[in-house]
Chain A
């Protein structure tokens, strides 16, 4: 029985799906790393004075 086409289709599905899953893990990881770096930068920057705080300072 000639079934080579089904063999190619089968392995394309197997490796294609596994590759897409790997890619999805890689991309999600990269995005989280970026988010983490940005959040760490935000945490490091000193707090700005709020509008209320600035008014209090002006009265003094």
Chain B
């Protein structure tokens, strides 16, 4: 297969990339001009829409890596390993944005950048668990062993996802709950108006589309990397 055919992008991916960019632009417009200003927290509450959306995409990406890991263990095919690495990278970026944007929101709301709250701790544990996934993979030379290790690790690591999601529902916390009822001691909680709910749902849709698009691009990058490696070995052996 020549480099030109590898570089050729599926038409659907181009369409999805354009659609994702438009959705993100529309979601940004809604956050600033459609959603109302929250009375108590003021302007910083607008971070909430993208904070929740990035958290959602991060969790879905980590779960996707675990699903790819299960498929790899059942039917060992390199493409699932490449997909899992791509999903973990996307998950790490989005979860990082989620944690940092949450910290920025917490400063005026909780009067601190960081507190050892169950949600903050479990989200950080989830992030570090998958960061270790990428680091540990690099220490294994044999590609098959690396892929098998990655599959098992991503399945076990994905247990941190429901733990993070449930943390504000099972432990005492100051972190507000978006879906369902939270701890009465939560700080920064607010009653959402219909326009706020609509903006949140639209942001979730926009970030999900962006997540899928980036995952596809990143998986193609991984696949291209594999091709380059195979060709390099072939050229060196000649």
Residue numbers of A with Cβ under 8 A of B are 1-4, 6-7, 9-11, 13-14, 17-18, 21-22, 25, 28-29, 32-33, 35-37, 39-40, 42-43, 47
Contact = CB atoms under 8 A, between A and B. Distances in A.
Main secondary structure of the interface of A (DSSP, over half): helix
Interface of B: 2-3, 6-7, 40-47, 50-51, 54, 93, 96-97, 100-101, 104-105, 107-108, 210, 214, 217-218, 220-221, 224-225, 227-228, 231-232, 234-235, 238
A36 B97 contact: no
Contact of A18 (B7, B93, B231): B93
B131 to A, nearest CB: 15
B46 A7 contact: yes
Nearest to B233: A39
B227 A21 contact: no
B100 A13 contact: yes
A46 B113 CA distance: 63
Given A29-B224, A39-B232, A6 B107 contact: yes
B231 A7 contact: no
Contacts, number: 95
B235 A43 contact: yes
Given A10-B105, A14-B50, A14-B54, 13 more contacts: A6-B104, A6-B108, A13-B97, A14-B101, A18-B93, A21-B93, A29-B217, A35-B228, A35-B232, A36-B224, A36-B228, A36-B231, A37-B3
Contacts of B6: 33, 36
B140 to A, nearest CB: 21
A33 B105 contact: no
A40 B101 contact: no
A43 B6 CA distance: 17
11 contacts: A3-B44, A9-B104, A10-B105, A14-B50, A14-B54, A17-B96, A18-B93, A21-B214, A32-B221, A36-B228, A37-B3
Contact of A43 (B46, B97, B224, B231): B231
A3 B101 CA distance: 14
B107 to A, nearest CB: 6
B146 to A, nearest CB: 19
Given A29-B221, A33-B7, A10 B44 contact: yes
A10 B46 CA distance: 9
